[in-house]
Structure 1
Amino acid sequence: MNKVVLITGGSSGIGKSVGEFLSEKGFTVYGTSRNPQNIQDHPFKLVALDVTNIETITAAVTEIVSKEGRLDILINNAGMGITGPIEETPTDEMRSVFNTNLFGAIDVMKAVLPQMRSQKSGLIINVTSIAGYMGLPFRGIYSATKGALEIVTEAIRMEVKSFGVQVTNVAPGDFATNIASGRYHTPVFENSPYKKTYQENLDLMDAHVDSGSDPIEMANAIYKIIKTPKPKIHYKVGDFMQKFSIVLKKILPDKMYEKLLMNHYKL
């Protein structure tokens, strides 16, 4: 039986690459987009879903289950970026990103769990970020949303294990996607005390994404997780230094690690 997969944010970037890869492997894949009618010639099915709108989440899950009779895998991939000095970033914009990256992911999990519980099987893969393991300058809110989702995953994983449902995190590093175009950028204000360092770091972030890895690496990693009988709690996908930065944070004194980050970001 072909397993049925739901990928939030499946219209572009990592979500699209993963969906296309899994489709080629024989999975029945549904991606999501807020406006799927505007997307032509997509390599797999798209349903309308906005992770900040519970009605659309419920409708999408209901549609898939009514068509397929089951839902085996959720890949919680939808997300958005945010950059800016915390002092100058509007708090409403911070809340908006938390609503998408954290509460949106939680609401989708809530929507699929009753079906997975009735099947006595299911797999939820939450896409977080290596940035979620550390507070990064001018990306602190994004880091916080992804770090929070990592912790939520640890908790819900234990809560649902007895129902036959498995939950795991996969944290990507920098990948060559269009994430930068969808970020909320706090403007670089002319009279800002952060003007120079923030602009330099914006340029550095964009360079990292432009030179990032091919999203097919994430597709391969997620496929391996799906084929693993008992997935680990945390997976990291990225280049050596990005993954090693997490190791360094664990073993170095806090101030030494902070100094390494400040040197890297020229602060």
Structure 2
Amino acid sequence: MQNIVLITGASSGIGKSIGEYLATFDYKVYGTSRHPKHEELNGIHFLQLDVTDLKSVENAIQTLITKEGKIDFLINNAGAGITGPLEEIPEIEQKKIFETNYFGPLRVINTVLPHMRSKKSGFIINVTSIAGYMGLPFRGFYSATKGALELTTEAYRMELKAFGIKMCNVAPGDFATNIAAGRYHAPIEENSPYKDVYEKSLKLMDAHVDHGKDPDLMAKSVHAIMQKSNPKIHYKVGDFTQKMSVFLKHILPDKVFENLLLKHYKL
């Protein structure tokens, strides 16, 4: 019997790459999008799902359970980017990014869990970010949402241990996707005290994405993790420098690491 995989945010970027890659193996892949343009494309069967809308989440999960009877793997990939000085990002945008990147995955997890628990099995993979391991300048809210999901996963794992349900995080670095086009950018205001440094940092961030890794690397890494009978809590996928930054964050004094970031972002 085929394993059933559900991937949120599968219409583009990393989610699309993971879905198309898994579809070449013995998985039946369902991907979600807020506005699906196809019922099926490149091996991914699409469902309408908006992670910020509980009713939408419940409808999609129930549709899938009715059709397949189970969900073996959930890959929580849907998310959004946000940039800007912390002081200047409107409160409504602060709340929206947490709704999408943090509360959204939790809605999907909590809706899927009763079905996985009834089967005494299941594997949930949360796509976070290397940015979630450190507070990055002008990406503070993005770092906060991904860091929160990393820590919440640690708690979930212990609570779910008795039910045979596995969970882990996969934190990508910069990948060549369209995330920069879709993220919220606080405008560069002429009278802002952050104008010059924010403008420089924004160009640097966009360059990192443009020259990022091929998302197929994430697809292959996620597939390898799915084979693990006893997965680690945290996985990092990206270039050597980005993965090394997490290691340095843990071993260096706080101010030394902060100075490295300041130098990297030319602040």
The reply to whether TM is greater than 0.5 is yes
**RMSD of equivalent CA atoms:** 0.9
Q: Partner of 1:85: helix, strand, or coil?
A: coil
2:161 aligned partner: 161
Segment of structure 1 superposing worse, 3-12 or 41-50: 41-50
| Distance change in 2, residues 1:99/1:174 (3 Å) | same
Tell me, yes or no, if structure 1 residue 228 matches structure 2 residue 234: no
1:39 is displaced (CA, Å) by 4.2
Equivalent residue letter for 2:99: N
Rounded Cα–Cα distance in structure 1 between residues aligned with 2:89 and 2:194? 12
Tell me, yes or no, if structure 1 residue 98 matches structure 2 residue 98: yes
Contact 2:125 2:168 in 1 (8 A): yes
2:41 aligned partner: 42
> Any gaps of 5 or more consecutive residues in structure 2?
none
1:134 aligned partner: 134
Q: Partner of 2:41: helix, strand, or coil?
A: coil
Equivalent residue letter for 1:51: V
> Any gaps of 5 or more consecutive residues in structure 1?
none
1:26 is displaced (CA, Å) by 1.7
Rounded Cα–Cα distance in structure 2 between residues aligned with 1:49 and 1:174? 25
Q: Partner of 2:266: helix, strand, or coil?
A: coil
Equivalent residue letter for 1:64: L
1:68 aligned partner: 68
Contact 2:125 2:170 in 1 (8 A): yes
Rounded Cα–Cα distance in structure 2 between residues aligned with 1:201 and 1:41? 39
1:40 is displaced (CA, Å) by 7.7
Q: Partner of 2:212: helix, strand, or coil?
A: coil
Aligned runs of 1:1-267 on 2, under 5 Å? Answer: 1-36=1-36, 38-39=37-38, 42-43=41-42, 44-267=44-267
Q: Partner of 1:145: helix, strand, or coil?
A: helix
| Distance change in 2, residues 1:190/1:49 (3 Å) | same
Deviations 1:217-246 (A, max 9, x none): 000110011111111000000000000001
1:42 is displaced (CA, Å) by 2.1
Q: Partner of 2:23: helix, strand, or coil?
A: helix
Q: Partner of 1:47: helix, strand, or coil?
A: strand
Deviations 1:102-158 (A, max 9, x none): 000000000100000000000000000000000000000000000000000000111
Deviations 1:163-200 (A, max 9, x none): 01001000000000000111000000011111111000
Equivalent residue letter for 1:14: I
Q: Partner of 1:24: helix, strand, or coil?
A: coil
Q: Structure 1 length as normaliser, TM-score?
A: 0.98
Q: Partner of 1:167: helix, strand, or coil?
A: strand
Q: Partner of 1:231: helix, strand, or coil?
A: coil
Q: Partner of 1:74: helix, strand, or coil?
A: strand
Equivalent residue letter for 2:33: S
1:92 is displaced (CA, Å) by 1.1
Rounded Cα–Cα distance in structure 1 between residues aligned with 2:35 and 2:103? 20
Equivalent residue letter for 1:136: L
Equivalent residue letter for 1:89: I
